Amino acid sequence: MFRSHTCGELRLTQAGSSVTLAGWVQTVRKFGAITFVDLRDRYGITQLVFNEGFNQQLDENPLGREFVLQAKGTVIERSNKNPAIPTGEIELEVSAFTILNKSAVPPFTIQDDTDGGDDIRMKYRYLDLRRNAVKKNLELRYAVNRSARNYLHENAFMDIETPFLIKSTPEGARDFVVPSRMNQGQFYALPQSPQTFKQLLMVSGYDRYYQIVKCFRDEDLRADRQPEFTQIDCEMAFVEQEDILNMFETLIKRIFKDVKHIDYTDAVERMTWEDAMWQYGNDKPDIRFDMKICTLKKPSTVYFNKQDHATLINDAGFVVFDAAESVMAIAVPGGATFTRKQLDELTEWVKRPQIGMKGLAYIRYNEDGSLKSSIDKFYNEDRLKGIAAASGAHPGDIVLILAGAEERTRKATSELRLEMGKQLGLRKEDEFKLLWVLDFPLFEYAEEENRWVARHHPFTSPKPSQIQTMIENDPLIHDAANYLSHPYAQIKANAYDMVLNGNEIGGGSIRIFQRELQEKMFAALGMSEEEALHKFGFLLGAFEYGAPPHGGIAFGFDRLCSILGGSESIRDFIAFPKNNSGRDVMLDAPSSIDEKQLVELGIGVRDEG
Ligand code: ASP
């Protein structure tokens, strides 16, 4: 028997018992003739005491950090207790020990506050994983996994594995491909998601499917994206949108409860995509705080069928606003006291290339009700009051105003809102706010190709009331500059995203399940009949054999874990992640392969020599 207990287990009640522990040497401290060793395993740390009698043995075979040690002895009460750790009341008086294995000096300290930089910890990930901080994250990940599985199992979902070597499934990203040796010149693709398989399972009658599954997308890696990531992937048959929303908001609430011990009793808020964009400037609003965007001016050629407040700013002779396509404002609570310096810094902030604005106008709405602005020359106090009121400002607030092209300005105002929320401490890490965003547009316009692309994916159904619009109209866009006037631009999808604290954590849709409508969809996306058959013949075929109405959702498992763990980075929640260039620096992958392998795969140059 290697060990009778773990290093996290012994308490004062066990004093006097003989035990055997095994673990890694965290620290060795010599105190006069006595040697103290902190022995660590996955469960905790126990202090070992080696008294004088071991000195010769320890001198001949000194213990080093990360040595693997087995120690037998008696549990005794500590005179110098350590309340910081659960085993802090006892120590193990060693009677015999064995060095099970030696360790080279680790390249960084295996402690909560390690001295190791990012790169070195990635290279020696197996050592980094010994650290508490990383271990806690993996434990949380496993807790989320178990909670999800329990809930889905209790609700009759079946975990069914789907293949990794498949044919390309378009979800908007590039596929990773795998050459086939047995079918030379041909390639498998790794799934971007099990989308078509889970739909086929619905046709097969497995009406509640789930999988916690790897997905692969060959995207340019923006910060905090992984080329392989994990989804909680789900699909249900005989459901409407409402059924899906209920089933899966309850899943997330269950995870909150099991993992964070939070009772999320509030109803999950719902918002249309249009309201999200209009009020928050993005489709995954952080609703932990208000500060909604006020559109003072919008161009006539814009998607949103909403009223602006142009009369408040027009006819003042202010060329910046007059010349701008759009003007937007937010009222920052308590901002009237911002100093000149703070405003200068904010102005610099909006001028950064990532934000791309030319400047920042402001109106201070002082506590005493007076108004002072950077645009006083053009607007008298009455007009300023009107703008402040439309922006929702109260005395004590400041109104920040941005002007420019619609899309860019909306995005910039949204970013400014989030930044102000952060600076004011309104985005609390321990507050969780769920939101469903609904009624997304079905199509998005792809300018370079002058055609429609599916906003979610091509299997998403339109709102039932708009199916006719889709069938009756020609998808071709004749007037590119005016694509918003095409009837397709207004078609809404039966799709939904779940948003948590400003992060999209899941998304899905009610699917098309009739062959004709699916064919119409492929055609709308500019696919020829032949191409549609070549790519999706299997799905179109399956729809002819009794496909039930169905829909589903997939959650980004890594992201969900990182939010619940209060971290910005999903990498911290993946045992063996890739770095920002998509490399595994521990394995040094990707790497070149042998010429012989290439030749076997039919993609190498054969030496005919
Ligand atoms: N397959 C979709 C995705 O990966 C999710 C879904 O529609 O269920 O985003």
pLDDT digits (tens, 9 = 90+) for 19-73: 999 999 999 999 999 999 999 999 999 999 999 999 999 999 999 999 999 999 9
**Residue 569: how many CB atoms within 10 A of its CB?**
14
Residue 169: its pLDDT value, please?
62
Q: What pTM was estimated for this model as a whole?
A: 0.95
Distance 389 CA to ligand 1 centre (A): 41
Residue 320: give the domain boundaries: 289-427
Residue 116: its pLDDT value, please?
87
Work out which ligand 1 atom sits closest to the CA atom of 495: 7
What is the best residue among 217, 456, 496 to mutate for testing ligand 1's pocket, by most ligand atoms within 8 Å of CB? 456
In a domain, 186, yes or no: yes
**237 and 335 share one domain:** no
In terms of Cβ atoms closer than 10 Å to its own Cβ (0-12, 13-18, 19+), residue 13 is exposed
**359 and 397 share one domain:** yes
At residue 455, the 3 state secondary structure works out as coil
**88 and 142 share one domain:** no
What is the best residue among 162, 169, 233 to mutate for testing ligand 1's pocket, by most ligand atoms within 8 Å of CB? 233
At residue 81, the 3 state secondary structure works out as coil
**67 and 165 share one domain:** no
Residue 124: which of 136, 108, 139 has the closest Cα?
Answer: 108
The count of domains in the chain is 4
What values do phi and psi take at 405, rounded to 5? -65, 145
- Region 585-597: mean pLDDT is 94
CA angle 596, 597, 598 (to 5 degrees): 90
Alpha carbon nearest to ligand 1 atom 1, residue = 195
Q: Return the CATH number at 139.
A: 3.30.930.10
**347 and 393 share one domain:** yes
Q: Give the pLDDT band (50/70/90) at residue 340.
A: very high
Angstrom distance (rounded) from CA 518 to CA 532: 10
Alpha carbon nearest to ligand 1 atom 4, residue = 193
Q: Give the pLDDT band (50/70/90) at residue 609.
A: low
**476 and 417 share one domain:** no
In a domain, 488, yes or no: yes
CA angle 157, 161, 162 (to 5 degrees): 120
CA distances from 367 to 215, 242, 360, 374, 453 (A): 54, 46, 22, 18, 50
Distance 560 CA to ligand 1 centre (A): 15
**81 and 170 share one domain:** no
Work out which ligand 1 atom sits closest to the CA atom of 198: 8
Residue 606 has pLDDT above 70, yes or no: no
Distance 399 CA to ligand 1 centre (A): 39
Residue 196 tokens, joined: 């078509």
Residue 572: its pLDDT value, please?
94
- Region 429-449: mean pLDDT is 95
What is the best residue among 202, 231, 440, 459 to mutate for testing ligand 1's pocket, by most ligand atoms within 8 Å of CB? 231
Residue 281 has pLDDT above 60, yes or no: yes
Distance 100 CA to ligand 1 centre (A): 48
In a domain, 160, yes or no: yes
Residue 38: which of 30, 88, 46, 133 has the closest Cα?
Answer: 46
Work out which ligand 1 atom sits closest to the CA atom of 233: 8
Residue 303: which of 476, 458, 441, 462 has the closest Cα?
Answer: 441
Work out which ligand 1 atom sits closest to the CA atom of 234: 8
Angstrom distance (rounded) from CA 489 to CA 473: 11
Residue 190: its pLDDT value, please?
96
Which residues contact ligand 1 via a Cβ below 6 A? 171, 193, 195, 507-509, 552-554
Report the number of secondary-structure helices (H) and strands (E) in the chain.
Answer: 17, 22
In a domain, 548, yes or no: no
Alpha carbon nearest to ligand 1 atom 6, residue = 508
Widest CA span in the chain: 94
What's the N-to-C CA distance of the chain in angstroms? 61
Distance 507 CA to ligand 1 centre (A): 6
**581 and 484 share one domain:** no
Angstrom distance (rounded) from CA 486 to CA 491: 10
Complete DSSP assignment for 533-547: HHHHHHHHHHTTTTP
Whether the CB-CB separation of 509 and 461 falls below 8 Å is answered with yes
Work out which ligand 1 atom sits closest to the CA atom of 552: 8
**294 and 422 share one domain:** yes
Place of tokens 């009331």: 465
Among positive and negative, which fits the CA dihedral 371, 375, 379, 385? Answer: negative
What is the best residue among 162, 169, 171, 200 to mutate for testing ligand 1's pocket, by most ligand atoms within 8 Å of CB? 171
In a domain, 504, yes or no: no
- Region 490-504: mean pLDDT is 97
Distance 574 CA to ligand 1 centre (A): 21
Residue 451 has pLDDT above 60, yes or no: yes
pLDDT in tens, 77-128: 999 999 999 999 999 999 999 999 999 999 999 988 888 888 999 999 999 9
Whether the CB-CB separation of 20 and 35 falls below 8 Å is answered with no
Distance 445 CA to ligand 1 centre (A): 20
**What mean pLDDT value characterizes the chain?**
95
Distance 170 CA to ligand 1 centre (A): 11
**298 and 328 share one domain:** yes
Angstrom distance (rounded) from CA 5 to CA 48: 14
In a domain, 110, yes or no: no
Angstrom distance (rounded) from CA 565 to CA 571: 12
Q: Give the pLDDT band (50/70/90) at residue 604.
A: confident
Distance 232 CA to ligand 1 centre (A): 10
Residue after which a domain boundary falls, among 371, 395, 427: 427
In a domain, 6, yes or no: no
In a domain, 459, yes or no: yes
Whether the CB-CB separation of 127 and 110 falls below 8 Å is answered with yes
Residue 546 has pLDDT above 80, yes or no: yes
Q: Return the CATH number at 80.
A: 2.40.50.140
Give 302 or 200, the one with higher predicted confidence.
200
- Region 140-165: mean pLDDT is 98
What is the best residue among 195, 208, 232 to mutate for testing ligand 1's pocket, by most ligand atoms within 8 Å of CB? 195
**169 and 228 share one domain:** yes
Could you give the count of Cα atoms lying within 13 Å of 398 in the half-sphere of its Cβ?
22
**305 and 418 share one domain:** yes
- Region 427-448: mean pLDDT is 95
Distance 554 CA to ligand 1 centre (A): 5
